[in-house]
Amino acid sequence: MQVGGLLFSLTLAVLSGTAQAQANMEGLDAQYERFLSWWPGTYDNERQVALAPSSFTPVRLYLEPVDVPAFGADVIYGEWQDAQRDFRVIRQRFYSFEIDHARQALRLKLHIFPPSPELVERTRGAYSEPSKIAALTPADMFPLAGCDVYFQWREDHFAGAMDKGSCAFKAPGTSDDIYSWSQMRLTDTSFEYLDGWFNPDGSVYRVLADDWYIFERR
């Protein structure tokens, strides 16, 4: 029995390794299909908040595919809600996707909703009522260039990051030149990211969170 169990475990390990090797060798088209399928869902960071209540606040996150032709063929609408304040909307994004063959990467084009109370009220809940955002165009978004995120397959997840220094802007309310740098990870059950603002020389301008935000699908 012990020998049989050992052989069974070794067989599983070999099969798992073979499947992983195949996933690592597959083309961008196949990776892209899996990449798109892993985004949609309702997420929260309850586990993270329970472990570090002083560092993170409870947030509910909705990520849903939407039909907004002005932003491309493959688009996810993201809505972040503060779970402690009657689910007040605290962030809205469009993530539009495409394959970047030149970089051998999967490209996320970031579109940020401007902080307009009227727009928030008009579009909140669009993850379940997509007609609220169907007519939006890039001209309605906050003007911010160079903030695309490039993903590649890493063993069992997709890892992405902006090009350092490319997402440049003036710090709000100042004349300070800074840039934002975001890193992301996507698994089949979670979406994680780490954001920060930096001076042109790469030193930290502002830390936006103590650690990675980890949102788990529910």
Question: Considering the domain boundaries, does residue 145 fall inside one?
Answer: yes
Question: Considering the domain boundaries, does residue 61 fall inside one?
Answer: yes
Question: Considering the domain boundaries, does residue 21 fall inside one?
Answer: no
For 92, half-sphere exposure in the C-beta direction (CA atoms, 13 angstrom radius) is 22
CB atoms within 10 A of CB 136: 21
> Is residue 80 a contact partner of residue 89, using CB atoms and an 8 Å limit?
yes
* pLDDT value, residue 100: 98
What residue type is assigned to position 136 of the chain? L
Greater model confidence, 210 or 21? 210
Tell me the pLDDT band of 4, cut-offs 50, 70 and 90: low
Strand partners, 98: 107
What residue type is assigned to position 4 of the chain? G
Question: Considering the domain boundaries, does residue 80 fall inside one?
Answer: yes
Question: Considering the domain boundaries, does residue 152 fall inside one?
Answer: yes
Tell me the pLDDT band of 210, cut-offs 50, 70 and 90: confident
State the CATH number of the domain containing residue 86.
Answer: 2.40.128.590
Contacts of residue 108, defined as CB under 8 A and 6 or more positions apart, other chains included, come to 95, 96, 97, 148, 149, 150, 151, 160, 184
Question: Considering the domain boundaries, does residue 102 fall inside one?
Answer: yes
What residue type is assigned to position 102 of the chain? A
Q: What is the pLDDT of residues 107-145, one digit of tens each?
A: 999 999 999 999 999 999 999 999 999 999 999 999 999
Q: What is the pLDDT of residues 136-180, one digit of tens each?
A: 999 999 999 999 999 999 999 999 999 999 999 999 999 999 999
Answering whether pTM is above 0.85, one says yes
How many domains are contained in the chain?
1
Tell me the pLDDT band of 8, cut-offs 50, 70 and 90: very low
Range of the domain at 189: 29-217
- As a whole number, mean pLDDT of residues 55-83 equals 97
